[in-house]
């Protein structure tokens, strides 16, 4: 339960992160109190793979049930070297990093943790087999206050042309 409580703020941060993809700020024109699920509108962002499982893993009230998302795989991403490059148009308001629960990602995370905290980076855990993997990541980032959310990374990898992790996306560039 402490792990779930620690990950909920990270999941909330995902919505803030994704707002960086919008071209304009949203304005509330009218609020009648009636709400509808955003699920039908997400079809442009999700595919038939693990992303739909993440959407289906909701409990009442829209709270994500993290254990139902596991194991988490991002088939289009693998552990590997990333060649640094600039992005022509910055898409994110906050730095974002993608990691797995593998030893290479954990070593990268430990090495870059201070910098990730300094730049207020948000992490996406794109590969995890089970709760022990989530706990290992949580134990590394908790002392630094860095947020990491479990989520498939295929969509963002496709948009940004990323094939490998660990990777940091920030200030208009992609680096390892």
φ, ψ at 69 (rounded to 5°): -85, -10
Please state the pTM of the whole predicted model: 0.64
Report residues of the chain scoring pLDDT below 70.
1-68, 89-92
Question: Could you tell me the residue range of the domain that residue 98 belongs to?
Answer: 2-175
Domain total in the chain:
1
Q: What is the pLDDT of residue 64?
A: 54
Give tens-digit pLDDT for 67-81.
Answer: 667 899 999 999 999
Q: Quick one: tokens of 172? A: 């208009």
**Residue closest to 79 by CA, chosen among 123, 127, 111:** 127
Q: What is the pLDDT of residue 23?
A: 45
Q: What is the pLDDT of residue 35?
A: 54
Q: Secondary structure of 20-63 in the HEC alphabet?
A: HHCCCCCCCCCCCCCCCCCHHHHHHCCCCCHHHHHHHCECHHHC
């Amino acid at each position: 339960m402490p792990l779930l409580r620690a990950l909920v703020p990270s999941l909330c941060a995902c919505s803030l992160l994704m707002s960086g993809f919008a071209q304009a700020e949203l304005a509330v024109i009218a609020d009648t109190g009636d709400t509808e699920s955003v699920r039908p509108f997400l079809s442009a962002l999700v595919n038939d793979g693990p992303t739909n499982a993440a959407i289906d893993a909701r409990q009442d009230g829209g709270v994500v049930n993290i254990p139902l998302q596991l194991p988490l795989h991002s088939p289009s991403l693998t552990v590997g070297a990333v060649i640094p490059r600039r992005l022509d148009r910055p898409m994110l308001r906050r730095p974002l990093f993608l990691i797995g629960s593998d030893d290479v990602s954990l070593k990268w995370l430990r090495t870059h943790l201070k910098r990730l905290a300094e730049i207020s980076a948000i992490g996406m855990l794109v590969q995890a087999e089970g709760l022990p993997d989530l706990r290992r990541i949580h134990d590394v980032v908790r002392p630094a206050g860095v947020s990491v959310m479990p989520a498939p990374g295929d969509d963002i990898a496709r948009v940004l042309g990323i094939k490998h992790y660990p990777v940091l996306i920030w200030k208009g560039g992609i680096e390892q």
